[in-house]
């Protein structure tokens, strides 16, 4: 793995578009908690968002898809570009220099890895139960974190994460959310909890159910959730055609 990192850092100036990267905010939902996938960096006690560089002959969005697939093992991921981050001070030259030195590479000032990078932010919504977190060549771990427990991240990654969450919150006002985050069958309380964790506020149970049913994108199944202590709630699924139409046309009322 050290050799792989070394080859990337040595040949990156020839392979990748100079000064350009992608960073991905990968959201999942599990145990009534909104989660984000993070990487534990090698040679530094810090965590980071999954990201990568863009090959010179590669579409920027294809680079984001490549990162997402390699970190989760999933294809056909719900992916949206949401912002470009270009502060001249966003790169952590000290951390990058440390990685070069640990890989046996001379960290001269002109090295491509020590230059300014502008990054394109993407967020993705994935089914937690199907994702298989995998670290990349520069990290030693890849794991889900509850959103409220996220530590201080490298560079401006906390800012990127917060910006992605703000965009996701705004999207709740005009598009349905849940199809890519919830399992195929779910309960109304689980759907409500998903909205509450994204919005970071409690919602009235009756009003929430009325709104969701009013969107006409749910199918109530003749099944109830098993293994619950109280009265078992009905299971629901999304009507895929109506959900797709709602994504195109938007919703008529917000939260």
Higher pLDDT, 217 or 254: 217
Which residue, 23, 31, 2, 18, is CA-closest to 149?
A: 31
- Please determine whether the domains at 2-171 and 186-249 fall in the same fold group of CATH: no
Binned at pLDDT 50, 70 and 90, residue 229 comes out as low
Higher pLDDT, 65 or 252: 65
| pLDDT, tens digit, 9 for 90 and up, residues 74-128 | 988 889 999 999 999 898 888 888 888 877 888 888 888 889 999 999 999 999 9
- The topology (CATH level 3) of 2-171 is Nucleoside Triphosphate Pyrophosphohydrolase (3.90.79)
Residue range 186-249, CATH number: 1.10.10.10
pLDDT at residue 252 is higher than 70: no
pTM score, whole prediction: 0.87
Q: How far apart are CA 123 and CA 83, in angstroms?
A: 10
| Structural contact between residues 23 and 157, judged by C-beta atoms closer than 8 angstroms | yes
Domain residues of the chain, as ranges? Answer: 2-171, 186-249
Binned at pLDDT 50, 70 and 90, residue 1 comes out as very low
Cα 56 to Cα 22, 69, 83, 121, 122: the distances in Å are: 13, 20, 21, 18, 19
Q: How far apart are CA 52 and CA 203, in angstroms?
A: 38
**Mean of the per-residue pLDDT values of the chain:** 89
pLDDT at residue 191 is higher than 90: yes
């Amino acid at each position: 793995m050290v050799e792989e990192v070394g080859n990337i850092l040595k040949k990156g100036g020839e392979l990748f578009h100079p000064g350009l990267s992608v960073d991905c905010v990968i959201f999942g939902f599990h145990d009534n908690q909104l989660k984000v996938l993070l990487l534990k960096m090698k040679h530094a006690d810090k965590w980071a968002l999954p990201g990568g560089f863009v090959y010179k002959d590669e579409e920027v969005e294809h680079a984001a898809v490549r990162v997402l697939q390699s970190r989760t093992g999933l294809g056909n991921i719900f992916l949206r570009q949401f912002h470009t981050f270009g502060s001249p001070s966003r790169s952590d030259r000290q951390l990058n220099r440390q990685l070069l030195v640990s890989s046996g590479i001379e960290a001269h000032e002109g090295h491509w890895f020590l230059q300014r990078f502008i990054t394109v932010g993407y967020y993705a919504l994935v089914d937690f139960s199907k994702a298989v977190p995998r670290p990349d060549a520069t990290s030693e771990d890849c794991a889900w974190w509850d959103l409220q427990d996220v530590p201080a991240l490298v560079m401006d990654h906390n800012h990127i994460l917060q910006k992605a969450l703000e965009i996701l919150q705004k999207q709740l006002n005009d598009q349905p959310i849940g199809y890519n985050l919830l399992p195929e069958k779910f309960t109304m309380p689980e759907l409500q909890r998903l909205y509450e964790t994204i919005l970071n506020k409690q919602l009235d149970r009756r009003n929430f159910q009325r709104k969701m049913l009013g969107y006409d994108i749910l199918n109530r199944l003749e099944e109830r959730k098993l293994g619950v202590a109280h009265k078992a709630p009905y299971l629901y699924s999304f009507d895929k055609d109506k959900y797709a139409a709602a994504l195109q046309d938007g919703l008529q009322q917000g939260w």
